[in-house]
């Protein structure tokens, strides 16, 4: 997930104007709310949250194939 640096809001700003946070999410995607200059919370559209939780089967298969190719020797040793 990529976060636009413009979409980082302080906790104080989020408390004072949450509609601004919602507007940023609608316009630019996920927003990080920071507390004491440390990222603490992620605000995103509910539909996008469901999409982030699941990877497409093709993506999982491609990643698995890549890992097997890179670590073939280790897999062969483990298979014994």
Q: Are 34 and 8 in contact (CB under 8 A)?
A: yes
3 pLDDT more than 60: yes
Strands, E, within the chain: which ranges? 8-10, 31-35, 38-43
Whether pLDDT at 5 is above 70: yes
pLDDT of the residue at 53: 55
Q: Give the pLDDT confidence of 13-62 residue by residue, as tens digits.
A: 999 999 999 999 999 989 999 999 899 999 998 877 666 555 667 777 88
The residue to which tokens 């609608």 are assigned: 26
The pLDDT, as a whole number, for residue 74 is 84
């Amino acid at each position: 997930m990529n976060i636009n640096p413009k979409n980082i809001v302080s906790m104080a700003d989020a408390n004072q104007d949450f509609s601004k946070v919602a507007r940023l999410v609608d316009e630019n995607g996920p927003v990080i709310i920071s507390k004491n200059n440390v990222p603490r919370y992620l605000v995103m559209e509910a539909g996008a949250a469901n999409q982030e939780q699941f990877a497409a089967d093709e993506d999982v298969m491609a990643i698995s194939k890549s890992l097997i190719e890179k670590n073939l020797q280790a897999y062969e040793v483990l298979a014994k």
